[in-house]
Amino acid sequence: MTTTSTKTNREITYLEAVREAMSQEMRQNDDVFILGEDIGVYGGAFGVTRGMIEEFGPERVRNTPISEAAISGAAVGAALTGMRPILELQFSDFITIAMDQMVNQAAKTRYMFGGKGKVPMVLRTPSGSGTGAAAQHSQSLEAWMAHIPGLKVVQPSTAYDVKGLLKAAMDDDNPVIFYEHKLLYKTSGHVPEEQYSIPLGKADVKREGTDVTLVATAMMVHKALEAAAELEKEGISVEVIDPRTIVPLDEETIIESVKKTGRLIVAHEAVKRGGIGGEIASMIAESEAFDYLDAPIKRLGGLAVPIPYNPALEKAATPQIPDIIAAVKETVKYK
């Protein structure tokens, strides 16, 4: 597993790691501020910014009207004038309301002005299903954002990763879409107290293996690891890779793993059709790793349906641990 900072025995939640990363950056850089709906006294929809307004005040922890277009537009303007805003959208689904600001303004400004203008901003937003929030509050739209040149796309899966990747995102001079899966907020892990940065574009091998490469994102990383532990009991060795950032994508780590195992499965929660799994599969097909494949590439993704409110149907709409286990077993049949 990639080591980016000193080891520590301190354990905090994913949510606390996000808050700590922002607070530490704001203490040392007056140009950093946060804006979003109910992020002040209320502390945000999921409580990530709770307590921050007491330390930094309402000028740097700014409550906004209920308008994602206004929030993102204000952030783009602030970034263009030298600030380094962090905007919080309550649910990642609401980025659809901010598409002109993010896709036509933030993503393209640096290119259109020959590098003389830059947009150093981070759009943080909770994504994914599993909370019973239904069709308009449970989507995974990262592949949509990954399609836009000029935007960087990050999906941390652990408390350690989220702090280091958020530091890298805040230091970046380009707009970064930073997805935080809702079900990960309460998960815990070892996180150093000091600031540290994990480079964008560097994957992490969460578990080493020899029989099949399993690339998984966000919450699916944890399901992949549970599936790998079960499969190990049957003598099947699964290598689990977390890309951590979708854009830029660490192609080298994935290619080298597939050359070693000869098999590839990609698992993500987003709808399978048009998902990042297809991009990773085609990347392997176009690389030297293709000649090492001993089995067809498999993709696991969500069904092409809106996320249901019913808990049983919600679970059925996205890949689960038994689905991953079945896909691995099918893949290793090929010799």
Q: Which of 137, 181, 222, 268 is catalytic?
A: 137
- Rounded (10°) CA dihedral 168, 15, 139, 315: 130
First-to-final CA distance of the chain: 28
Using an 8 Å Cβ cutoff, are 207 and 228 in contact? yes
Structure tokens at 57: 């005040």
DSSP 94: G
DSSP 253-299: HHHHHHHHHS-EEEEEEEESTT-HHHHHHHHHHTSGGGGG-SS--EE
Instruction: Return phi, psi of residue 46, to 5°.
Output: -115, 10
C-alpha 185/C-alpha 176 separation (Å) is 20
DSSP 244: S
Structure tokens at 136: 């308009």
137 a catalytic residue:
yes
Active-site annotation, residues: 137
